[in-house]
Amino acid sequence: MSTTPMRLAVLGSGKGSNLQAIFDAIDAERLHAEVICVISDVEDAFILERARQRGVPAEYVDGAPFRTRLDGDAERRVIDLVRQHGGTHIALAGYMRMIKAGLLEAFPGRVINIHPSLLPAFPGLEAWTQAVEAGARESGCTVHFVDPGMDTGPIILQRSVPVLPGDTPAVLHARIQQQEHLAYPEALQAIAEGRGGAPTG
């Protein structure tokens, strides 16, 4: 394993519980990485506060005029910030925008996402609600490399959870998140050790 830690930029839009799991794994020496910046498209997102509490640069990048994708000036700004801070990999942690070709080409095979389903089942938004409404008996989470599609990139690691009788979407989501907080650091460590099966860029 390289003695140089993976230099992670984390992109998120919400509370940042997966960012906290990454911090916790670094502190416990289960993940050989350093979070070099956190970027959000939501100015008051708590993920930015988590970064500030840790002393990690916290950057707000307005995604306007686009609502659902990172593109144009905003995409260029994110690329510049990651490069300025010396990031080698990008981890998406609840980032609610589609990633486009510019970012993927700037960091080929080094953009990673976690999704709350066992892909290819239930891509897209609120996968836990999709699972409950479909009557699925099993769900979970998937860590995968990002490609231009909707949750279609190569899978690195999956963890499953049962969908229990009477589960509401919120209850299932909470059970999935417990596994996310284990899976994401584990998958990132596999990449840091060269075991992640990174696609060639």
pTM, 2 dp: 0.93
Q: Which residues are catalytic?
A: 115
**Residue range 27-50, pLDDT digits in tens:** 999 999 999 999 999 999 999 999
* In the chain, domain spans: 6-192
Predicted confidence (pLDDT) per residue in 153-197, tens digit: 999 999 999 999 999 999 999 999 999 999 999 999 999 998 876
What is the b/e burial string over 9-27, where b = at least 16 CB atoms within 10 angstroms of the residue's CB? Answer: bbbbbbebbbbbbbbebbe
Section 94-111 average pLDDT: 96
pLDDT of residue 3: 76
The pLDDT tens digits for 126-153 are 999 999 999 999 999 999 999 998 899 9
Q: Which amino acid is at 23?
A: F
Rounded Cα distance, 23 and 18, in Å: 9
What is the per-residue DSSP string for 52-105? Answer: HHHT--EEE---TT-SSEE-HHHHHHHHHHHHHTT-SEEEESS--SEE-HHHHH
Q: Which residues, other chains included, contact 171 with Cβ-Cβ below 8 Å and sequence gap of 6+?
A: none
pLDDT beyond 90 at 1 = no
Beta bridge partners, 89, equal 8
Q: What CATH number has the domain spanning 6-192?
A: 3.40.50.170
Instruction: Answer whether 18's CB lies under 8 Å from 178's CB.
Output: no
- Asked if the model's pLDDT at residue 2 lies above 90, the reply is no
Question: Averaged over 99-124, what is the pLDDT?
Answer: 96
Both tokens of 34, joined, read 């350093």
Asked if residue 137 lies in contact with residue 144, where contact means CB atoms within 8 angstroms, the answer is no
